[in-house]
Structure 1
Amino acid sequence: GFELTKLWDENPQLAENMSKIYYGKPKVCDTFEKVSDDVDLVFIADCWGPDGRDHLKFATPGIEKNVPTFIDKPFAYEVKDAITLVQLAKKYKTPIMSLSMLRVLPHATRFRNRFAELGEPEFGIIKGGGDTMGGHIHAISLAQHLFGSGVESVEAMGQTPLAYVHLNYGDKPHRPKAGVMLNCACGDTYHCSMYASAYSKLGAIHSPNLGDFEFPYAVVEILKMIKKMVKTGKSQVSYEEMIECIAIATAGRLSQKERKRIYLREVLERK
């Protein structure tokens, strides 16, 4: 198990309140740098929206002290920050990890196991995500979980950020030839549920609800991965995949702004 020993929040009263919830055991630190002193793990929770803009700032002290660090999704807002975080982790030999619940949700894995019914998916759709970076990462992560990593380029449009995003895998084997569509601007949904569909010349299959009643199972999986990271000193998620998640979002915003296809290599080279 875990024991929460230290807390910090930019609003000290909120930190005090959380400490009381845990019967006053966690120490409330007056600076975020002190949270990583004499601990086995640092957990960077969602902040600013959440959109990840401050995650590099908050994660740096612990990484530099060689304290394993879990960064709640999104890993970062811009891909340049994601790359910097990975560079820091490698420099100080500190394991770090960041992922969405949708990346490890067992219900999504069971849906993916049904792809054999299609031979191999040629096109995929993800429904859900909303208009914030925190939601976009869920959509991107669900696409990674179901259809794989290795996105080559992105095209995005719509009235809200990353409203509709097409992921293109190029000619990579065992990836949907027609790509994957993220429909983030999709209105209200049942208990934060997201949905997925996969298509091929043999037909189509559709996922069940992937929402609040399913998410706790993913949380358990993530906690197991965090504990294993602490014990082994190794991240349980590839850094390449963590960076790709943010690169897709960065490329999508640029695509929306410039009204053209953006290759991931373009945003990775702009770091």
Structure 2
Amino acid sequence: MNNKFNRRTFIKTSAAAGVGLGVMGGFSDLFAAQASGKRVGIIGLDTSHSIAFTKTLNAKEADPVYRDYKVVAAYPRGSKDIESSVSRVDGYIKDIQQYGVEIVDSIESLLSKVDVILLESNDGRVHLEQALPVFKAGKRTFIDKPIAASLRDTIAIFDQAEAHDVPIFSCSSLRYMKSAQEVAQGKVGKVLGADAFSPAKLEDTHPDLLWYGIHGIEILFTVMGTGCKTLTRTHTKDTDVVVGVWEDGRVGTFRGLRSGKNAYGGTVYGENGVQVLGPFDGYNPLLKQIVDFFDSGVPPVSKQETLEIVAFAEAADISKNNGGSAVSLASVFEKALK
């Protein structure tokens, strides 16, 4: 696909959207009846998350937990050069139009039509660039994983959001597995340690564990909390094992798998028992958190935790490059802040 979403394509897809509305019926009435402030805009149609969220929100009889939020418009461009992302866009444009979503040719145009934003571009490298006009427009924003492709950009994203007084948050849907949330809410008492695992497919443009391993890292931090001090990484062509030591001496590990598409989970060791994590519960538990955030403006995941997750992934790359030596997260933050 051409990196620029050209005018001819824009006119063609917009026209198709209009036809789709007429054929499917009911969507125009649905959108006309929306309460003020409930219009959702999507940036990036290079991920299945965009379609999954839209399918749930725009269902004819959507669950009341989604508070009448509806996806009304989308700007399709995401990654500029990751083939697995770029090649999806044309298909996902067609998919999302089935739900009455208008396709627009710029982020600026999108912002004039919506109240809140799902920044869904699969490529973390473009998130800072895409988020800046959103923040300037004052739109509350959920940024899908990875929030960025570096700790430096992640810090910049939070700095710019704060400068424009715009609430944001970012996380993986794996954070909201029922079993992980039960642990976070105290089911096994104080967590003494934990192991987490997930697929960890690599992408050359991102730190190894930010592209897909972030899912397992998110699980680990959901149950362990912040405070990782140092880590070491063992790396083979099939597996990564990262061992983190927290400030209070607790140990948490992440295992990244090159195979096992739906392998998400782990084990938590608590003062009151052991909890097995899993299975993955789908995207809807996260989506509920997102719409609650759109209403309240209160992020359900702290800035510090998101920064630490990204620093954990960067530190893991440094450890690998240094033969598995221990790396402090403080040194990674110091480097990023320079």
TM range (shorter): 0.7 to 0.9
CA contact (8 A) 2:191 2:223 kept: no
- Residue 163 of structure 1: SS of its match in structure 2? strand
Match of 2:295 among 213, 231, 240: 231
Match of 2:197 among 127, 146, 156: 127
| Larger Cα-atom Rg | 2
Structure 1 unaligned spans of 5+: none
2:80 is aligned with 1:3: no
CA contact (8 A) 1:154 1:167 kept: yes
- Higher-strand-fraction structure: 2
TM-score (norm. length: structure 2): 0.66
1:80-229 counterparts in 2 under 5 A?
80-110=152-182, 113-116=186-189, 120-132=190-202, 133-160=210-237, 163-170=240-247, 172=248, 177-185=249-257, 187-188=259-260, 192-199=262-269, 205=274, 207=276, 209-211=278-280, 214-215=281-282, 219-229=283-293
Q: Residue 102 of structure 2 aligns with which residue?
A: 27
Q: Which amino acid aligns with 2:298?
A: K
Q: Residue 56 of structure 1 aligns with which residue?
A: 128
CA contact (8 A) 1:125 1:197 kept: yes
Greater RCO, CA 8 A, separation 6+: 1
Structure 2 unaligned spans of 5+: 1-67, 78-85, 203-209
RMSD (CA atoms): 2.6
Following superposition, the deviation at residue 44 of structure 1 comes to: 1.2
Q: Percent identity?
A: 20
Following superposition, the deviation at residue 187 of structure 1 comes to: 3.6
TM-score (norm. length: structure 1): 0.81
Distance 1:17 1:242, change over 3 A: same
CA contact (8 A) 1:164 1:183 kept: yes
Distance 1:257 1:37, change over 3 A: farther
CA contact (8 A) 2:241 2:256 kept: yes
Match of 1:264 among 313, 329, 337: 329
Distance 1:82 1:208, change over 3 A: closer
CA contact (8 A) 2:243 2:251 kept: yes
Distance 1:74 1:4, change over 3 A: same
Residues 149-203 of structure 1 deviation map (CA, whole Å, 9 limit, x = unaligned): 1111121121359811111103x2xxxx3511111136426xx132212347x89
CA contact (8 A) 1:8 1:15 kept: no
Count of aligned pairs between the two proteins:
250
